[in-house]
Structure 1
């Protein structure tokens, strides 16, 4: 099952945690229903767990099993998102059973964060909270009034249980006949939700960056524009900012080997008081050599020369990513000089030498790739050099907006893509193993093939609700290009007019109002 399944008639462009009073502000791409009408919302996640198979995930099943089969207890889970701007006056949970249930179903609240149907199992299931009602079966079509529970826009999640000594099989969203619905009655038509601040950004609180450039609230907004073109990166970013309507607080550039940077043009971009920016500088220190040789000190002259340049020319804080996306260059053969452990040793050596040289304004980012093949490698975990030399955990990840094409998905899939064969997705891996580290999407983008222009607005509309569900993400940096390095994928935000409209609406959200201190 796909945790972001939504009725085609409703575009989910904002979500809040259930129980909060503020919603993410974003223009709706579909109107809320007129007075007295209903929004029929499909579950964004629906699955079940089995006590006998505690680690098994049933997220792709066409049924939701609830009840008992011998010693095996099965519990169903549902999640719904009520779009921002909806004036809720009533709500009905509607379920369809394959056969007449022999007993009643108990509906209880559960947290709406920390679980998705892609990885829900009895071992990872959220704790079951207060009971909100009981469904007494009188037929195959089941319903429960949730008007006292669903009262405003937000994300709502529930558990389904039965004490019967058999199993009720409900239709899931994968079932061709249709799955669970939340029928929300509205009081008035709403074309644009009220402008409010996100849950992480109280109205009276100013969001500012700290010593490690981590925002106290909100999310830093950034970009690398003009990729794989001859346009100077500074001019490309200025053009992109004018097009999208917001200054990129993070200006992302790329360097290698003995290059001296930041360049004069890059420095100038961070010294415009009207457009405050901070640099994200990628540096391939091992250019022309190997990670092992850098770790052994054979490029110390290169590191020392760059240290002197930075100390003499740039005193502002900046993000430094050493050899981003290292997975692409790993050679696991012992002695290759390019194993994952060689990378970790290189990273540690460079950071420790920079610190010894007095470079105190570099904030270190380790930028992984969002690829399930690499995450499944036995050596992948060996890339991490240690919390003491990593300030931010970065991720470079992209999704397709062409249904059925490679990595088709939305913003959540950038973060939750799982290793081949299963396991924790990147976001969950990061917060589980390195809970103190903020997460940066150091590169992200929505693409379609150059020859097949496809509207990206639906994917862009998922950014705000997914940021709410992934609160450790503190910076997002878009990589904008009309053609990637192979000339096949268009990642530009304006590849279609409607895509640009949706992206401009996203960029305008107050969650990105962060002051660089």
Structure 2
């Protein structure tokens, strides 16, 4: 994900019910709570912002109020909001016979400081529901309030005595609060037979100097025949196509991926998912997605084995029980089917360069090596290991960056997560070549693709995450479409790239909308990429 590791807190994602070509499309745009918490009248100075539970109702003399804050990104040009609903997932215990959601005028409160001593005042009631006592979820209709992009704050209360409701918060592992907008998008414009060759603008002088975008060149049309993968999942010709869909959302990843495939018109051969710590995977849903004969897929499983500890501790063997448990699970549940495994993607963001911190670049390399060798010793023979960098100039120029590489003997693919801004003149604006090879100083760092092909010429390159966002004050469909138009011709000039995996989210941790369909023009441009025959690789 762009510029940071996978966030546990909620953000936004998209799941859609796509219409037919040339017709309007109805989507469900889901936004997670950016802030949530609850206050307790009997504990007026207590803060519950870090809790994975939200409580609303009365118990004895205590009145508890749940607060929710959602920041809704623009659903795109020409899009209308049909309705809006807030959904909460019951965490435990029975629900009261009535719950009320009220509007809150203040949007400045934060979950870290919220308490009964300073909680914001409640406004008018928006929706009252009477759920079944054992209902899995509770949904409030907020269509009268939420009609467009903006920040919305609500409170949930109950007057029922001694039956407080308990819901999962944004800190929970699943079932986090969501604001779901049903939106209607205009008909997509059919893709042009030949996209315009454009050169995105150079970033202004106030941003770090960057490599000027390369002018698109026409790719030589080719139709790969009988492209297959070898034991390391390297295609004999062509490029593997994949996606991590529904990022930063509560939408199930398999559901989000199927929607992504429906919109883009191609099965994502690489299905990218994320796990951490003691989680066991592949999950049943992941296994089902890679057991579909009509839509052949392989997994790219991202694992933070060091979650809750330090890289140095993993390297010393402190988490061997965790590694062994997962190894046994994989052998038992996934057999010998090949899959990609990324170990702690984007490590740069978590490096603490101080010697002895346990989180230095060398500690990362040691953690990676130990995990790979341990899994192989445990008999896991079907994992293809990927190291995935961030491609952010600040880190690439750091003196410790080169120490991250774990070694050719434990790395099968060299990967990168990289993103571009489609805003003309904006920071990190550029074409696909710029996305893969940008630099602020070639003497310090020659550009990521140049570095990879020079230092590791025998390793295939996996673009493990890529995406395009538009930071323009008003999103312009042509902007993303122009960047997408550079992908195919410039990809043809980078033969070491053997995998291309899009990261799709309506709102990442920096507020970027990386959906490929936020405008009809963007979707048309992206569908042109997806339709290219170079991605016809058989597993």
With the length of structure 1 as denominator, give the TM-score of the two structures.
0.62
Question: Is it true that 1:197 corresponds to 2:222 in the alignment?
Answer: yes
User: Which residue in 2 is equivalent to 1:319?
Assistant: 340
Deviation at residue 217 of structure 1 after TM alignment:
0.4
1:375, 1:420 within 8 Å by CA — same for their partners in 2? Answer: no
Quick one: distance in 2 between partners of 1:80 and 1:259? 45
CA offsets 1:296-321 (integer angstroms, 9 cap, x no match): 00000000000010010002110000
User: Which residue in 2 is equivalent to 1:289?
Assistant: 309
2:416, 2:463 within 8 Å by CA — same for their partners in 1? Answer: yes
Q: Tell me, which stretches of 5 or more residues in structure 1 are unaligned?
A: 1-24, 31-40, 45-56, 61-78, 85-153, 155-195
User: Which residue in 1 is equivalent to 2:181?
Assistant: none
Question: Is it true that 1:27 corresponds to 2:193 in the alignment?
Answer: yes
User: Which residue in 1 is equivalent to 2:446?
Assistant: 424
User: Which residue in 1 is equivalent to 2:517?
Assistant: 494
Quick one: distance in 1 between partners of 2:482 and 2:216? 15
User: Which residue in 1 is equivalent to 2:82?
Assistant: none
Equivalences for residues 472-483 of structure 1 within 5 A: 472-483=496-507
Question: Is it true that 1:436 corresponds to 2:461 in the alignment?
Answer: no
1:450, 1:483 within 8 Å by CA — same for their partners in 2? Answer: no
Quick one: distance in 2 between partners of 1:388 and 1:415? 25
2:199, 2:431 within 8 Å by CA — same for their partners in 1? Answer: no
3-state SS of 1:364 partner: strand
Q: CA RMSD in A?
A: 2.4
Deviation at residue 404 of structure 1 after TM alignment:
2.0
CA offsets 1:89-144 (integer angstroms, 9 cap, x no match): xxxxxxxxxxxxxxxxxxxxxxxxxxxxxxxxxxxxxxxxxxxxxxxxxxxxxxxx
In 2 relative to 1, CA 314–496 (structure 1 residues): closer, same or farther, beyond 3 Å? same
User: Which residue in 2 is equivalent to 1:274?
Assistant: 294
Quick one: distance in 1 between partners of 2:369 and 2:255? 34
CA offsets 1:181-232 (integer angstroms, 9 cap, x no match): xxxxxxxxxxxxxxx416xx3xxx3100100000000000000000111110
3-state SS of 1:469 partner: coil
Deviation at residue 466 of structure 1 after TM alignment:
1.1
Structure 1 stretch 463-472 or stretch 442-451: which is displaced more? 442-451
Quick one: distance in 1 between partners of 2:216 and 2:351? 41
Deviation at residue 435 of structure 1 after TM alignment:
0.5
Q: 2:244 aligns with which of 208, 216, 224?
A: 224
2:419, 2:468 within 8 Å by CA — same for their partners in 1? Answer: yes
3-state SS of 2:332 partner: helix
In 2 relative to 1, CA 42–333 (structure 1 residues): closer, same or farther, beyond 3 Å? closer
Question: Is it true that 1:404 corresponds to 2:429 in the alignment?
Answer: no
Q: 2:485 aligns with which of 461, 465, 468?
A: 461
2:389, 2:417 within 8 Å by CA — same for their partners in 1? Answer: yes
Greater RCO structure (CA 8 Å; 6+ sep): 2
Deviation at residue 469 of structure 1 after TM alignment:
1.1
2:276, 2:304 within 8 Å by CA — same for their partners in 1? Answer: yes
User: Which residue in 2 is equivalent to 1:184?
Assistant: none
Question: Is it true that 1:515 corresponds to 2:535 in the alignment?
Answer: no
3-state SS of 2:272 partner: strand
Deviation at residue 42 of structure 1 after TM alignment:
9.8
User: Which residue in 2 is equivalent to 1:183?
Assistant: none
Deviation at residue 454 of structure 1 after TM alignment:
2.7
In 2 relative to 1, CA 407–354 (structure 1 residues): closer, same or farther, beyond 3 Å? same
Deviation at residue 27 of structure 1 after TM alignment:
3.0
In 2 relative to 1, CA 42–234 (structure 1 residues): closer, same or farther, beyond 3 Å? closer
Deviation at residue 420 of structure 1 after TM alignment:
4.7
Deviation at residue 343 of structure 1 after TM alignment:
0.3
Quick one: distance in 2 between partners of 1:374 and 1:343? 14
User: Which residue in 1 is equivalent to 2:276?
Assistant: 256
Deviation at residue 295 of structure 1 after TM alignment:
0.1
2:266, 2:530 within 8 Å by CA — same for their partners in 1? Answer: yes
CA offsets 1:376-424 (integer angstroms, 9 cap, x no match): 0000000001000000000000000001222111211121112556431
Quick one: distance in 2 between partners of 1:337 and 1:82? 46
Equivalences for residues 47-66 of structure 1 within 5 A: none
Equivalences for residues 108-257 of structure 1 within 5 A: 196-197=221-222, 201=224, 205-257=225-277
3-state SS of 1:241 partner: helix
Quick one: distance in 2 between partners of 1:42 and 1:291? 44
Quick one: distance in 2 between partners of 1:351 and 1:403? 43
In 2 relative to 1, CA 298–400 (structure 1 residues): closer, same or farther, beyond 3 Å? same
Deviation at residue 43 of structure 1 after TM alignment:
10
Quick one: distance in 1 between partners of 2:198 and 2:326? 55
Equivalences for residues 240-389 of structure 1 within 5 A: 240-315=260-335, 316-389=337-410
Question: Is it true that 1:503 corresponds to 2:526 in the alignment?
Answer: yes
Quick one: distance in 2 between partners of 1:318 and 1:305? 18
How many residues align structurally? 336
